[in-house]
Structure 1
């Protein structure tokens, strides 16, 4: 802390919370369950104190990644206000600097002690962690997190039900709903599950009842009727596009072979397009978008990219062809052909915003290839954006000013700053004597996790939209907190992705 003392440290990192999402639910979730009388008191007596068993799960403490993997202290949330943490978690961008996307996902999945003022039964922080993952389309980790916690509470079950629909586990979702007496399905959800279970007559009866009671809108009724008996509507025009689809409506449209246009739909819906049944073009589009958001691993993206040979040209097909040509050259062990194929493949990845995913896949393979000249410099740049950046730095000799700056960052040394404001901001964060920064008061008040979320918002926007002093402070915080690898990868991405 002595390093952080000083006049500049007295200023807190005041991220404007007015621009962050209010507490609530994503507007694309299905209205799958209902509790129509939950807000009506049954008597006027004073409620009794709730006593929880010793083995009750504390939702805010549930995670998938233990401290031995994350390296984060268990008491990361400390004294922070729960609502502030939840809004900061929901406010993390869907797409941003890859290092920050990865770090905030680790925060969402980490096993951490609840904030000190968290109620024993859990708070909105756990749901906010889920919503951040769902908004990015990271359905698998979100589903695993909910199943670790047990999706018995209505707000958790609603999300788990929708994720199950989007990951093609509808039967399991319906079986769980039917087996849980505490979950009251809405009419559309009940009808869907009755039909999935083969009870078509009961589903049709529920449709009529729901419409008579006003629990099913006209548009919902039209979709459900087609879902229950599509042959009756063979001569009818298809349903009009609906940009506000829920996962339940999405599944019904898919079942009647009226696949919605994915353009503009939330990323969570794209998971359905990762299946080979969706067609290769749809797979490619979904893989690119979900990789940019950090929802799927680069290995899953490249597996789709190299699964077939492009039969057309232009746009995404040119990117696929460029990467496949490089991949073939690397497999053949041909340095001349690799040198020829690397620049167009890199340009294609810059166009798609997939440079870091590309580096994760090809950084080490390029390092093993004896490339010289411009191809060698480009291969080292790719390597510096990959997880083996430190290994690249240890074996490389800088060939120009850009490399010299990047290699210093990769080694954790203070680089020589240029006239660029961004370069000076990064260099200041890697100075031998760390400068005072505005997050000191958060650390003194035991609010490290909140400080990291605020800093992540600054860094995720990248160097073009953030004040350079803010960048220095945010990078310095990660270094002081012992997250040196995150700081270096973030700085390398800030620097190399703009040059």
Structure 2
């Protein structure tokens, strides 16, 4: 059957006409055009109907849950109120979520993820079309939180709409669960797959003849571009193209293109692709160096648990030196020293491990792994100072700060108190002002004050993230407003962690 399919592919290559142009993609511009609504038939003839019913009606059971309310974290556990959006319109909520920045402090990344995953009430004007949910999924993918996005869309029901299915299909391609997505595509009549997605799924199901025939039909109808056709033909039978030069690199590869390029032995370099693609390099089939690079990239935005990063680091002993391998060796040396309970070895290994993780901008995942463990080791001098810094960047910062040797300024921040004395630099003074008691409303400006008064909590949280992000990149006046805003919203822990990171991380943002 595979040889028959090859002949059909060869014939279609010889006879097919010019391919049609692909329209620009919406939402995240690298999503596959895996599904599409049928285009209306264009005709010059007058259209007559005996029915005044509108052509498209959105139907949803009265008791069906609003997809915008779906979450993975109960509101009580997230620390966020259920009425998070207040009077914010759904379309504005979606716009704000897509505009949220991910190039920010780890504490603000974690707060953003909590907002995206929380089980909260939808905007008051939500129509049940899931536009806020799709914006949440898009931002999770921007962060690289592919597994969380998959769990969220599956809880909402990935076949509920083409927009949700489109995201689920691509997420499944990145996580290696494409067979489930293909099965759902076949079982759901309302999902209209595009020709490339249909061909891919037919081939994955072993129906090579049908896949090849569909390729020929798609080309004849102008529904497949020349670039798609070249890739699909090689995907269906790469043996036909042995000795041919590799395909040119695509300008905007989708997960579907990514997986097919991988299948034909022409993988794309993931380092240049959006962060979500790094999830595909965590598979056991990837090389160790590739898996380390992917794990580090995801850990920088909090999309990978620190324990998973450590698991990748400690899979085996590095067989080389320099760069990434020196970092892995340094972390392994510290980990072994801590497991052995050897204070001298810990004191010797800690400076190198901390310097390596600082250069990689992985200080906070490192602190989550080792902050409390280091606090239990009797250290002195520079090693004790480094251990305290690591502890203050960990989730156990309050316990660490209560110990001896913590600078009074940092200890006050960890308690959420305004430091009595602060260094004279602008950053420390801005942080100190943000912890005034009670949190200062003055200086927030009329827009932020109105958000608080209206109960537009989610808008205010996103504004605080922006302010602190701008402050971390140099505009320190925004830091005071951002910290004060978080504290006025009751997000005290987030404010404290952000302030400690501002003071301790040796990098902007």
Is TM (by shorter chain) over 0.5?
Answer: yes
1:449 matched to 2:458: yes
Answer yes or no: is the 8 Å Cα contact 1:101–1:460 preserved in 2: no
Correspondence list, 1:265-276, <5 A? 265-276=273-284
Answer yes or no: is the 8 Å Cα contact 1:97–1:462 preserved in 2: no
Pair 494,200 (structure 1): closer, same or farther in 2 beyond 3 Å: same
1:209-238 per-position Cα deviation (integer Å, ceiling 9, x unaligned) = 111111111111111111111111121122
1:11 aligned partner: none
SS at structure 2 position matched to 1:386: coil
Correspondence list, 1:42-191, <5 A? 43=49, 45=52, 47=54, 52-119=60-127, 121-152=128-159, 153-191=161-199
1:463 aligned partner: 472
SS at structure 1 position matched to 2:302: coil
Pair 319,396 (structure 1): closer, same or farther in 2 beyond 3 Å: same
Q: What's the offset of the Cα at 1:471?
A: 1.2
1:427 aligned partner: 432
Correspondence list, 1:36-435, <5 A? 36-37=38-39, 43=49, 45=52, 47=54, 52-119=60-127, 121-152=128-159, 153-398=161-406, 403-415=407-419, 416-435=421-440
Question: How far apart are the structure 2 equivalents of 1:163 and 1:55?
Answer: 28
Q: Which runs of 5+ in 2 are unaligned?
A: 1-24
Q: What's the offset of the Cα at 1:96?
A: 2.1
Question: How far apart are the structure 1 equivalents of 2:58 and 2:102?
Answer: 38
Q: What's the offset of the Cα at 1:276?
A: 2.5
Pair 433,69 (structure 1): closer, same or farther in 2 beyond 3 Å: closer
Answer yes or no: is the 8 Å Cα contact 1:137–1:295 preserved in 2: yes
1:376-409 per-position Cα deviation (integer Å, ceiling 9, x unaligned) = 01101100000100111122333xxxx3221111
SS at structure 2 position matched to 1:276: coil
Answer yes or no: is the 8 Å Cα contact 2:471–2:478 preserved in 1: no
1:102-158 per-position Cα deviation (integer Å, ceiling 9, x unaligned) = 110110010111112222x13522111110001121111101111111112000000
1:143-182 per-position Cα deviation (integer Å, ceiling 9, x unaligned) = 1111111112000000001111111111111100000000
Shifted more, 48-57 versus 102-111: the winner is 48-57
CA RMSD after TM alignment: 1.9
Pair 473,94 (structure 1): closer, same or farther in 2 beyond 3 Å: closer
Pair 24,425 (structure 1): closer, same or farther in 2 beyond 3 Å: farther
1:487 matched to 2:509: no
Question: How far apart are the structure 2 equivalents of 1:172 and 1:80?
Answer: 36
Question: How far apart are the structure 2 equivalents of 1:477 and 1:454?
Answer: 9
2:6 aligned partner: none
1:466-487 per-position Cα deviation (integer Å, ceiling 9, x unaligned) = x323211111111122111111
Shifted more, 162-171 versus 254-263: the winner is 254-263
SS at structure 2 position matched to 1:178: helix
Q: What's the offset of the Cα at 1:60?
A: 1.3
Answer yes or no: is the 8 Å Cα contact 1:406–1:496 preserved in 2: no
Q: Which runs of 5+ in 1 are unaligned?
A: 1-22
Answer yes or no: is the 8 Å Cα contact 2:471–2:477 preserved in 1: no
Question: How far apart are the structure 1 equivalents of 2:239 and 2:147?
Answer: 35
Q: What's the offset of the Cα at 1:421?
A: 1.1
In the alignment of these two chains, the number of paired residues is 471
1:421-458 per-position Cα deviation (integer Å, ceiling 9, x unaligned) = 11111101112332224232211111111111111122
Question: How far apart are the structure 2 equivalents of 1:387 and 1:94?
Answer: 20
Q: What's the offset of the Cα at 1:498?
A: 3.5
Answer yes or no: is the 8 Å Cα contact 1:95–1:292 preserved in 2: no
Answer yes or no: is the 8 Å Cα contact 1:88–1:454 preserved in 2: no
Pair 53,251 (structure 1): closer, same or farther in 2 beyond 3 Å: same
Higher relative contact order (CA 8 A, sep 6+): 1
1:73-103 per-position Cα deviation (integer Å, ceiling 9, x unaligned) = 1101001133332222112223321001111
Of 32, 35, 39, the match for 2:34:
32
1:5 aligned partner: none
Answer yes or no: is the 8 Å Cα contact 2:35–2:193 preserved in 1: yes
Answer yes or no: is the 8 Å Cα contact 2:392–2:400 preserved in 1: yes
Question: How far apart are the structure 2 equivalents of 1:493 and 1:64?
Answer: 27
Question: How far apart are the structure 1 equivalents of 2:473 and 2:102?
Answer: 18
1:234-262 per-position Cα deviation (integer Å, ceiling 9, x unaligned) = 21122222241111111111111222111
Give the TM-score normalised by structure 1: 0.91
Question: How far apart are the structure 2 equivalents of 1:461 and 1:498?
Answer: 16
Shifted more, 49-58 versus 317-326: the winner is 49-58
SS at structure 1 position matched to 2:119: coil
